[in-house]
Chains A and B, each alone.
Chain A
Amino acid sequence: MNTLIAITGLGVLCLLFEILNFRKAIVPITIIGLLAILGLTVSEFNLPESYYNNMIVVSKFSTVFSSLFIVLTILLVALAHDFYEDHPTKISDFIAIKVFMLAGAVAMVSFGNLAMFFLGIEILSISLYVLAASNRMNLKSNEAGMKYFLMGSFASGIILFGICLIYGAMGSFDIAEISDWSRSAELPIWFPIGISLVTIGMLFKIAAVPFHFWAPDVYEGSPALTTATMSTLVKVVAMATLYKLLSAMNIDTNEYISTAFINIIVVLSIASMTVGNIMALKQTNVKRMLAFSGISHAGFMLMALLSISTSAGSLLYYASAYSLSGIAAFAVILYVCKNKDNENIENFNGLGKNNPLMAAVLTAALLSMAGIPIFAGFFAKMVLFNQTIEAGHLVVVIAAVINSIISVGYYFKLILAMYSKEPNEAVAKTPFVFYAVAVVSILLNIVLGLFPSAVLDLLG
């Protein structure tokens, strides 16, 4: 709860700074503030409590995921300063929106009431619509914003419908009550339908097949930093929320749909992985490629839902590994494509010579995503595989394995470009923050890889 209040306060503070003309200080102060909030959040780790009539429930799950979101936001905000240096008057708005978005994200993982959940997801979505379209003179950005908005509000409608049906069945929005009642046998069919619709809405947010179509277009069109946000923070938030929702609704014990539901997850998981990976193979735009890669990772993360009662830790781990490597990758992409009008792979030619450190970071990030040890991505996959096999879904794991193989194909396309092509231009100066963010996030990733227990065991 304190986290949420503090974050909102920080967002308002950002807006105030603009008025007070503290423009230069916004990014540092926000980062410091977020660090403080991170401390606050972590301190709540062992103090599960619910606030305000169960509106906000602070649990281990919520604090841990909130911390992850805060870390990601810190990194994203750090990147913002240089990214928006051409938009000095708007930087406060951007930062504020990001901070509010974080508030929405935190609300989404710590909601105790579907109202909070809905508002959280809407704050997140609306912020993203704005951020996607924020480069308003750019047609692509406009188009991305529009597409995202149209499809996003459509999905919101579906989520809302789902919530409505759940309410119809339960007469309450309180998660704890719903959770209790969901175990009883005499439930109107509205309840499972409602869950399904909410799930579908969330699947849209995490860009699972067949609700993934928006992702590549929006990722490609949005400003790169927004893409970074979407592909890391937002995806992870949506996934965590979906996990929390489904586990709260006792989806695994619902006698009406559990088996069928699991089947659906299996199919969607496999489909997402496959479509994502195969489509990524022939992309020339790096952001678009990462969008498809993100779709496939969504498929991987869906595997966590197959053993929902035990997989919180592994989901957290996967999410951290994926998002950290994503941020590292995007830091490099931002650096490389800073003054270019597109993000095509050719821009990465010869990076290995021009800037070996950045190239190494990007390589490590991609290797982590591909699931090569010793990076965290490997353990993430391994733990998920372990749990999924334990749950008896060997098919999914085999599909996942085949997909991991395919994925190497496009991750290595980028690596190949960096190391085996001649650079087409002279070395550009790298802003310090890009280095810092890239290195910090990849180091975090590697540390996670070396000490997976540190994160895996947080959620039992």
Chain B
Amino acid sequence: MIRIPDFANATPIQIIFCVLAVITLFTAFMTIYSRKPMHSAIYLLICFTSITGHYLLLNSQFLAMVNLIVYIGAIMILIVFTIMLMNLNKENEVYKPRITRLGAIVTFCLMCLVLIAMFINSKPIVGEYTTTGEDYQSIKVLGKVLLNEYMVPFEFASVLLLVAMIGAVLLSKKEKTTK
């Protein structure tokens, strides 16, 4: 069952959550809806920031910082650079045919409906959420988990990044045709 927030007796945390959620969803939607790519990028930026807010709310400060750095600092910059480099910030995008857009909206609604209904349909989570009291999300703990238990994936991620790097280079490197 969905718990209707009790706005009258809402705790600050709940209010913050609601505000953040609204911001997240709105900016995400605007990202898609804006006609200018640059506007989208800015909305996306706000969206990511609000997600960082969520992380903070959930008390995972380290991840919040990482999110800020990776997404806003790296990925978004990359995207913005691309937009500007290619001078894509034009409103010349031809919209898809109306039927397609309508289809997209219907599909969107359908998917939301299906997913949400699915979760509502299921057994509700009953009872209190456990609190172990242990520290599980400080930098210290995360570092230990990451480099002890998750050492192999951690190293393997480097392979992933290596591949991405080679790939990006491969795709943009000018070829020397002479042998």
Residues of A within 8 A of B (CB): 8, 11, 15, 51-53, 55-56, 86-90, 93-94, 96-97, 100-101, 103-104, 107, 113, 115-116, 119-120, 122-123, 126-127, 129-130, 133-134, 136, 145, 188-190, 193
Contact = CB atoms under 8 A, between A and B. Distances in A.
Contacts of A90: 170, 173, 175
Nearest to A187: B123
Contacts of A88: 176, 179
B152 interface: yes
Contacts of B121: 189
Given A88-B179, A119-B159, 5 more contacts: A97-B163, A123-B156, A123-B160, A130-B163, A134-B171
A55 B162 contact: no
Given A53-B149, A134-B170, A116 B163 contact: no
A133 B171 contact: yes
A134 B169 CA distance: 10
16 contacts: A15-B166, A53-B150, A90-B173, A93-B166, A97-B166, A113-B150, A119-B159, A119-B160, A123-B156, A126-B160, A130-B168, A134-B170, A145-B171, A189-B118, A189-B121, A189-B123
B163 A107 contact: no
A126 B156 contact: no
Contacts of A86: 177
Nearest to B163: A100
A116 B166 contact: no
B86 interface: no
B151 A122 contact: no
Contacts of B148: 53
A104 B166 CA distance: 15
Contacts of A127: 163, 167
Nearest to B168: A130
Nearest to A122: B160
Contacts of A136: 171-172
B163 A115 contact: no
Nearest to B149: A53
A189 B167 contact: no
A255 B13 CA distance: 39
A136 B175 CA distance: 10
B103 to A, nearest CB: 15
Q: List 5 A-B pairs, minimum CB-CB distance, nearest first.
A: A130-B167, A189-B122, A55-B152, A115-B153, A52-B152
Which of B123, B148, B160 neighbours the largest number of chain A CB atoms within 10 Å of its CB?
B160
A55 B154 CA distance: 11
Contacts of A123: 156, 159-160, 163
A133 B177 CA distance: 18
Contacts of B156: 103, 107, 116, 119-120, 123
A116 B152 contact: yes
A189 B152 contact: no
Given A15-B166, A129-B167, A130-B167, A115 B150 contact: yes
Given A87-B175, A115-B153, A100 B123 contact: no
A51 B175 contact: no
Contact of A126 (B123, B125, B163): B163
Contacts of B123: 188-189
Interface in B96-138: 118-119, 121-123, 125
A445 B167 CA distance: 33
B157 interface: yes
B153 A116 contact: yes
B46 to A, nearest CB: 21
Contacts of B170: 90, 93-94, 97, 130, 134
A55 B167 contact: no
A93 B157 CA distance: 18
A15 B163 CA distance: 11
B139 interface: no
A210 to B, nearest CB: 13
A309 to B, nearest CB: 27
B153 A113 contact: yes
B75 interface: no
A130 B163 CA distance: 9
A56 B153 CA distance: 10
